[in-house]
Structure 1
C-alpha cells in the first residue's frame, strides 16, 4: 500500500531531513529534552535495599527500541547517587560511550517499565518535555541514528567512541503538533508490529533449520552412515557409542600444531563462530580491532585445521580456505595421521555444541574460554577409516546444502524487512509520508513483541580478536 504525502512542504535547510510539512516546526534537538543526566555504575551488589537494577547498553533491544529484561544487573547505588537518576516510565536512555565500527555509539531506547532502575555510566537518562511524546522522540532518535546524524559528533579515544551530547543536541529536527505525534506513533506501532511478527517467525524458522542441520551432522560424525553397523562405547561422555570398527585416539596423535612464518603479502585470516575460516576481507572489512603490531602472527595454509582458542566453545573451528596470516591465539594444525581435517572440524564443533569445551576450558573474558592445542591434544576423538571420513563429509555436503540455502534466504528476507521498517519509521517521523488518516482507524494499544529470546543470527564476532 502506497502512503500519501502532505499537501505542502517547505525546505528544512538540513541535508538529512530535506523537505518537511509546511506547518512543522524546526527546532534544535535539545529543545525537546528537559533533562540529560549521566548514568552511574555504583558498587558491587550487597543484597541490601541499596541494590537496584542498573541498565546497560547490553540490555538495549535496539530493534524494538526498548530494554531487554531477561538478564538484569543489580548494583549498589547510594541514595545520593540515585537522586535525579531514577528512571521513570517514558524516559529515554542514550548510549554516550562505547560503540565500534560495526555499530556506532548513539543508540537510544525507551524505558517503559515500572520497576526502580538507573542507567549505567556509559549512558544518559533523557527526560523529554511535555509537549513531545517520549514514544515519538524515541522513534525520532532511531531515525537520527539510522541516518548517521550522530557520526559527526563522535570523538574516539583508545578504541572507545564518545558521543559529544552537547554538540549532538544542537542538531535541527522537525516537530509536528502533539496530536500528529500521537497519530504517527499509533500508525508506526501497528505497522512495525506486523513487521516484527514476520521477522520473529523467520528467526524461529532459522533456529529450527539450524537444529535440523546440527542433528544431521551430529549423527553422521559420531555414528557414521551405516545404520546397521555394530556399535561400541567410545568411553567419552559427549560422544557415546561409535561404530565398532572405529578407533579412538587423542588429538595429538592426529594433528600437529604449526608455527609457520608469514610473508609480506599475506592478508589476515579469521576463524568465525559459524565454522568458516577465510580471509577477513571475504566476510567484511570493518568491525575488528586492528593490532598496532602483529606480534606473534603466524602463517596459515589452505586446508589447515584452525582452532580459535578463546572462541572454540562457540564453534570457531574450521578448515582454512585461504593462505594468509592469523593471530597467535589460533592453533594452526596439520594432520600427522591419515585423517580428513574437515571431519575433525565438525567433530570439535560438535564437542563445543555439547558444552564439552566450555566445561574443560578456563574462561579469560566474558563469553569466551581458553581452549589451547595442549588441551585439544589430550582429548580422545573418534577415528573412522579415512575413506569413511571422506564419505561422511560428502554426505553432509549434500544433505545440508538445501538447509543452508533456506537459512540464507530467510536471513536476506529479514534484512529486507528490517530495512523497510527503518525506512518507514524515518519517513513517518520526518513527514515524508502522511499517516494521519490511516492512524484514525487503528486502536491505540498494540501488544509488544518480546523477541529477546529469539536466536539472533547476526554476526557478533566484531571483537573476537583480542590481538587483532
Structure 2
C-alpha cells in the first residue's frame, strides 16, 4: 500500500527539549508544584486560590480609557477576534460588522491596553493590544491603575475560557451570543491579586509554554498539510497513469492532461454520465427547513473527504417529492459549483433519501465509469484545473452544466477502474487514519493549553523562577 514513511509523523525532534511535557500534558501538570494552602474565591471560574493571594474588584485594578479619536489622531482601525485577539481591522476578513465612516467617534487604544468586545466577550473576543489605533464604541478599553498590576497576567486571566464564559451573568440582551456586557456590574467582579512578582512569573511562564504548545500545534498542522498533499500526488498519478509505473504511454492530445496509458481512452464527462444537474432552494427558503426530515445538501455539506451531515438542512417528504429531479442516489458524485467552495466533491455511499440545492451538482456516472474513479478525477489536479479554467474563462462566479459536460477524463478499462477504485479506497482510509491521529493530538494540545492557563492564573499550580528559566 502507500508509503507514508516519507512524512515524519514523529515531530518531537523538531521542537527539541522545549517540548518537554507536550507528549503527556496531564502528567506534566500533575508534577508541577502547588501552594501550601488554598481558600475559596467565591467565583465559578477560579474556585480555590492560594491563601496568600488577595481578591480585589476590577474597578480597583483597571481604569477605563475613553479617549476619543478626535482629529482623527489615527486612521489605524483595529478589531478583536476570539482566536487572534486585537488585530488590524483589514486582517479580520469578511466577518463581523463593517467599520464606520466616522472614525472620530472611535476610542483610542494604546499598546498594552486590554480590549474587550462587550457584545462577544462570552465567546472570548478580547485581548491585549500590540498596537496604537482606534476601535468602535462596542469595545471596552482598560489599562492598569498602578504598576502593581502586570497587564500580561490579567490578559491571560481574562482570556481564560472559564473566566470569559462566566461573564454571561453580567450580560443583557435578546440573543445569547450577542448580549452586551454590563460595564458597571463587570467592574464589581473580584479577581485574584497575587504579588506583582508572581504575576510576572506566571505571565512569563505562560508566554513560554503557550509558545511551545502553539509551535507543536503548527508542526502537526504542517504534517496534515503534507499528508493531504502526498495523497493528492498519489491520486493524481493513479488517475492519469494507473497502478503500473511501466505502462506504455501516449499523448492524450489535451495539454493539461498530458500523457496517458496507451490503452486508455479520452472521454468527455457527458459521455460517461447519465445526469448532470443541480437542485433548487425550496419555495420559502430557510423557513421550510425542519428539525427532522429529508437532508437537503448544500455546499457546506460537501467536502473532499466526506459528506458532512452535522449542520444539514432538512425538508419535508412532500417538498422532497416536489424536487424529484434533484433526488440523490447512491453512487452519485456531488460537486460544489458556486462560491468559495467551488470544486469540492465527494460521492454518495448511502441509499438514504437526500436532495441538493442549486449550489450542488449531481454528477451521476453511467455503467462506463466507476463512482470512486469519477470522484477521484474530479478531485484531482486535472479535475480542479478544468474547474478553474472554465470558471475563469467565462468570467463567472460559478460553473455551468455545459462547461462541466465538456470536462475531459482519461478512462481505463472497467477492470482497471475497479482496481484503481479499490486502491483509492484503501488510500483514503490510510491517510484519513494518519490525519485523524494528528487532529486528535492537536485537540489534546489545545485542551492542555486551556487547562495550563487556567491552572496558572488561578494558582492551582505554583510557578517558580526555575520553571521560567528552563
Structure-2-length-normalised TM-score: 0.72
Residue of structure 2 in register with 1:13 after alignment: 42
1: CA distance between counterparts of 2:257 and 2:459?
60
1: CA distance between counterparts of 2:100 and 2:279?
50
Residue of structure 1 in register with 2:112 after alignment: 90
In the alignment, is the contact (CA less than 8 A) between 2:293 and 2:316 conserved in 1? no
Q: How does 1:348-367 map to 2 (within 5 A)?
A: 348-351=378-381, 356-361=386-391
Give CA-to-partner distance per residue, 1:87-120, whole Å, 9 cap, x none.
3221233344579xxxx7332232224xx53346
- Partner of residue 193 from structure 2, selected from 163, 172, 175: 175
In the alignment, is the contact (CA less than 8 A) between 1:119 and 1:125 conserved in 2? no
Give CA-to-partner distance per residue, 1:392-449, whole Å, 9 cap, x none.
121223345433322221221111111111101001101111113545x528xxxxxx
Q: How does 1:245-260 map to 2 (within 5 A)?
A: 245-255=263-273, 256-257=275-276
- Partner of residue 388 from structure 1, selected from 398, 404, 416: 416
**In the TM superposition, what is the alpha-carbon distance from 1:318 to its structure 2 partner?**
0.2
Deviating more after overlay: 232-241 vs 412-421: 232-241
**In the TM superposition, what is the alpha-carbon distance from 1:140 to its structure 2 partner?**
0.9
1: CA distance between counterparts of 2:166 and 2:252?
59
Q: How does 1:148-163 map to 2 (within 5 A)?
A: 148-151=165-168, 161-163=178-180
The reply to whether residue 212 of structure 1 matches residue 230 of structure 2 is yes
Gaps of 5+ in 2: 1-27, 283-289
The reply to whether residue 412 of structure 1 matches residue 440 of structure 2 is yes
Residue of structure 1 in register with 2:17 after alignment: none
**In the TM superposition, what is the alpha-carbon distance from 1:389 to its structure 2 partner?**
2.0
Residue of structure 2 in register with 1:284 after alignment: none
2: CA distance between counterparts of 1:352 and 1:152?
54
Q: Against the structure 1 CA distance between its residues 302 and 246, is the aligned structure 2 distance closer, same or farther, given a 3 Å change threshold?
A: same
**In the TM superposition, what is the alpha-carbon distance from 1:8 to its structure 2 partner?**
2.2
In the alignment, is the contact (CA less than 8 A) between 1:53 and 1:75 conserved in 2? no
Give CA-to-partner distance per residue, 1:124-168, whole Å, 9 cap, x none.
544444443221122112214577324556667689734435365
In the alignment, is the contact (CA less than 8 A) between 2:50 and 2:459 conserved in 1? yes
In the alignment, is the contact (CA less than 8 A) between 1:313 and 1:358 conserved in 2? no
Residue of structure 1 in register with 2:208 after alignment: 190
RMSD: 4.2
The reply to whether residue 371 of structure 1 matches residue 399 of structure 2 is yes
Residue of structure 1 in register with 2:248 after alignment: 230
Structure with higher helix content: 2
1: CA distance between counterparts of 2:78 and 2:172?
23
**In the TM superposition, what is the alpha-carbon distance from 1:35 to its structure 2 partner?**
2.2
2: CA distance between counterparts of 1:37 and 1:292?
50
Gaps of 5+ in 1: 41-48, 282-287, 363-367, 444-468
In the alignment, is the contact (CA less than 8 A) between 1:34 and 1:127 conserved in 2? yes
Q: Against the structure 1 CA distance between its residues 154 and 25, is the aligned structure 2 distance closer, same or farther, given a 3 Å change threshold?
A: same
1: CA distance between counterparts of 2:187 and 2:156?
16
In the alignment, is the contact (CA less than 8 A) between 2:346 and 2:375 conserved in 1? yes
1: CA distance between counterparts of 2:166 and 2:83?
20
Structure-1-length-normalised TM-score: 0.72
The reply to whether residue 321 of structure 1 matches residue 345 of structure 2 is no
